[in-house]
Structure 1
């Protein structure tokens, strides 16, 4: 269950960054009307999986 929450929260954060902050920075492919804007959701999903992968990797390296 923890894995799901890590993936979901990191995916939402990436989605927020792409939808709300990237247009303010004038990134062309994120602007409304761009044919490449559909790539936002797959990018957020991949980002969520990558965050989970790195979280598990760093969690394994911790030795108490």
Structure 2
């Protein structure tokens, strides 16, 4: 269950960061008028999987050293 919470929270945070940074940066596909703005969702999903992977590796490293 904790894996799903970590994935959801990480994806939500990444999504919000990208949506709020979009108008303030010159990255073309993050701009509100860009037709490619939908790419934010797959990036947030990939980012959430990466966060979960890193969390699992950190958890394994802690349990191995204890």
TM-score scaled by length of structure 1: 0.89
1:43 aligns with 2:43: yes
Question: Moved runs in structure 1, 4+ residues, more than 4 A?
Answer: none
TM-score scaled by length of structure 2: 0.87
Matched with 1:24 is 24
**Count of residue pairs the alignment pairs up:** 64
Task: Return the structure number with greater relative CO, CA threshold 8 A, min gap 6.
Answer: 1
Deviation at 1:13, TM superposition (A): 0.5
Segment drifting more, 24-33 vs 2-11: 24-33
Q: Structure 1: where are the runs of 5+ without partners?
A: none
The root-mean-square deviation of aligned C-alpha atoms, in Å, is 1.1
Query: Separation in 2 of the partners of 1:39 and 1:61?
Result: 33
Query: Separation in 2 of the partners of 1:22 and 1:60?
Result: 36
